Amino acid sequence: MRSAHVVSVVREAEQALMARLPEGALMRRAAMGLAIHCARMLPRVHGSRVTLLVGGGDNGGDALFAGASLAARGACVRAVLAGRRVHPEGLAALRAAGGRMIDNGPAAASGAPGAQRNFGTHGEGGAPRALITAEARAAVLDADLLVDGLVGIGGSGGLREPYASLAVLASDAPAAVVAVDLPSGVDADTGEVPGEAVRADATVTFGTYKPGLFVDPGAVRAGRVSLVDIGLDPELPEADLVRPQAVDIARLLPVPSAEDDKYRRGVLAVRAGSDQYRGAAVLCVGGALRTGVGMVRYGGGEDVLSQVIARWPEVVGLHLDPRSSTDLGPGRVSAVVVGPGRGTHPANADELRALLESDVPVLLDADALNLVSSSVALTELVHRRGAPTLLTPHAGELARLLPDTDRAEIEAHRLEQATRAAKLYRSTVLLKGSTTVIAHPGERTVVNPTGTPLLATAGSGDVLSGVAGALLASGLSGQDAAMCGAYLHGRAAVLAREGAPISASDLLDALPLAVAEVTTGRPPGRA
């Protein structure tokens, strides 16, 4: 697992570590790691042009000390000073190594001869918000590498000027950008971006990952993220947020043994699809089968059932009109998936009520979520369930599940809203989207690393329901089933067509490849 900690925890850990170290030692550790990563991003260090964007805090100090190291190796290093203050020891180190200073603080920018206005970024009434000196602008635009040391993990509420203008200029510049700890303008705890923010090609973070590096929109601005060990681990408590790796998924995935039979591997009941949305049933059932569930018991209307059996003859089918029957079907059932394409007729609520009153794990998706959001009685049933319950909404569905919340609010505050929903419904919540967030009451939040825009296609959520449902039926907890399901779903999307556009049906053939990749540790096709 890659672990992330919120700012307050990081600050406390840093203070404890610094109390045992010589003054300035922690910053120098961070700066050395930063300098090494910067050097790797350059074709050669000697003669390269490196421009540091330097704020007034420790983040700027890290950049200055790293710049001093690069200057000592022959790089032409210029530091654009954006604030009223500057880290004095870092500035002295850079000067001693031969680096140059360019003052672009508020006073310099507003009165310097040749100052350039803010290149299209305007405030109220179209008035320019800030000034950037011509010298600072030239240093940014002709650099081989830009180092973003404007604002560190303590920044919040959006970038002020001239930081905001420098962030825009750096993001549009031709040089690669490496961010110090996290891109300036990104909230370290949430990934939220309340205004302008640097868009980095790489981020070098220190001691531990920060949640904002894993969650969009912050994650997409961080680029490739590298962690520098500065000795913080012994001071850190359990992570606030984790991002699993393939090895973590492999440890959780059920592996059939010689003693297993189809019942031990899990029996999943699927209540998906309707005359209007027959494909939802086919995709959901396929997702479960291709993930390795022991048996699928499908119940649905006659036409949908025949289509499911035609595509998946191994399914045990039950003619069950959801508008007139709430039967779970004969035989043992380990878990149930309900909702994809099922409909929101009042009689569908009767089926859902019966499932929620059962003692088996239940995954609620799509129409099942819409029914819950419109019924106090169903909501109360979810609250009172003793068996695991997994909700898999997209942002619009979650907005309906949460009072006084709209989709934009969900998208802007994904961590907060997923955690809020998990507590409110006393369930595991898998919030689908650009960053899939998995929250469970009292547990650390999980973010999925395999998300891809390829999954933004009709029916992909139906497949995910089947995948996660199969894992739930195998005996995994709601949170582990959601985490493993999301990971495999994302990998299948990439493997299906080697990164080319896909349809949801393509995921079905790629799921076994994703499972094999995770369990063997090798890309598909390699011995």
Contact yes or no for 27/62 (Cβ under 8 A): yes
Residue appearing with tokens 């970024």: 121
pTM of the model: 0.90
Between 499 and 506, the more confident residue is 506
* Mean pLDDT across 99-125: 57
| Signed CA dihedral, 498, 503, 505, 511: sign only | positive
Query: For the chain, how many helices (H) and strands (E)?
Result: 20, 20
pLDDT value of residue 328? 57
pLDDT value of residue 331? 59
Question: CA-to-CA distance for 464 and 18, rounded, in angstroms?
Answer: 46
Q: Tell me the longest C-alpha to C-alpha distance in the chain.
A: 84
pLDDT at 114 over 70: no
pLDDT at 38 over 70: yes
- Tokens standing for 408? 């934009």
Alpha-carbon distances, residue 120 vs 70, 117, 123, 131, 284 (angstroms)? 33, 8, 10, 11, 49
- CA 100 to chain CA centroid, nearest Å: 38
Residue ranges per domain, the chain? 2-243, 246-252+264-517
* CB neighbourhood size of 464 (10 A): 30
Continuous H helices in 97-215: 106-111, 134-141, 163-172
| Confidence band, pLDDT 50/70/90 cuts, at residue 525 | low
| Confidence band, pLDDT 50/70/90 cuts, at residue 121 | very low
pLDDT value of residue 327? 62
CA angle 40, 137, 105 (to 5 degrees): 100
pLDDT value of residue 320? 82
pLDDT value of residue 115? 44
Contact yes or no for 233/30 (Cβ under 8 A): no
Helix, strand, or coil here: 431? strand
Mind giving me the DSSP string for 444-458? -EEE-S---GGG-ST
pLDDT value of residue 329? 53
Residues in the chain, overall count: 527
pLDDT value of residue 112? 47
DSSP state at residue 494: H
Contacts of 315 (CB under 8 A, 6+ apart): 285, 289, 296, 297, 298, 308, 309
What percent of the chain is modeled with pLDDT above 70? Answer: 92
Contacts of 51 (CB under 8 A, 6+ apart): 77, 78, 79, 80, 139, 140, 143, 145, 146, 147, 175
pLDDT value of residue 125? 36
pLDDT at 398 over 60: yes
Choose the weakest-confidence range: 18-32, 147-161, 411-425, 433-447.
147-161
Could you tell me which of 274, 263, 284, 378 has the C-alpha nearest to residue 320?
274
* Mean pLDDT across 130-151: 93
Topology classification of domain 2-243? Rossmann fold (3.40.50)
Question: CA-to-CA distance for 511 and 58, rounded, in angstroms?
Answer: 46
Q: Phi and psi at residue 2, in whole multiples of 5°?
A: -95, 120
Contact yes or no for 357/350 (Cβ under 8 A): no
pLDDT at 326 over 70: no
What percent of the chain is modeled with pLDDT above 90? Answer: 84
| Confidence band, pLDDT 50/70/90 cuts, at residue 118 | very low
Contact yes or no for 413/190 (Cβ under 8 A): yes
How confident is the prediction for the chain on average, in pLDDT? 92
Question: CA-to-CA distance for 236 and 242, rounded, in angstroms?
Answer: 14
Q: Which long-range contacts (CB under 8 A, 24 or more apart) does 318-326 make?
A: 322/271, 322/274, 322/347, 322/348, 322/351, 323/347, 323/348, 325/299, 325/351, 326/350, 326/351, 326/353, 326/354, 326/355
pLDDT at 8 over 80: yes
Choose the weakest-confidence range: 107-111, 153-157, 173-177, 347-351.
107-111
Helix, strand, or coil here: 316? strand
Q: Which residues are annotated as a binding site for K(+)?
A: 59, 148, 184
* Mean pLDDT across 356-370: 96
pLDDT at 102 over 50: yes
Q: Phi and psi at residue 390, in whole multiples of 5°?
A: -120, 120
Instruction: Lay out the sheet containing 224-228: strands in order across.
Output: 100-103, 76-81, 49-54, 145-149, 176-180, 202-206, 224-228
The HSE-up count of residue 278 (CA atoms within 13 Å, CB side) is 12
E strand or H helix at 460, and its extent? helix 460-473
Contacts of 175 (CB under 8 A, 6+ apart): 51, 140, 143, 144, 145, 146
Q: Which residues are annotated as a binding site for AMP?
A: 432-436, 461
Q: Which residues are annotated as a binding site for (6S)-NADPHX?
A: 58-62, 152-158, 163, 181, 280, 341, 394, 462
Alpha-carbon distances, residue 165 vs 11, 175, 251, 420, 476 (angstroms)? 28, 17, 47, 35, 49
pLDDT value of residue 445? 97
User: Considering the domain 246-252+264-517 in this protein, what is its CATH number?
Assistant: 3.40.1190.20
Contact yes or no for 365/336 (Cβ under 8 A): no
pLDDT at 424 over 90: yes
| Confidence band, pLDDT 50/70/90 cuts, at residue 124 | very low
Query: Mean pLDDT: which of 28-42, 261-275, 318-332 is highest?
Result: 28-42
Q: Which residues are annotated as a binding site?
A: 58-62, 148, 152-158, 163, 181, 184, 280, 341, 394, 432-436, 461-462
- Tokens standing for 297? 């018991």
* Mean pLDDT across 357-364: 95
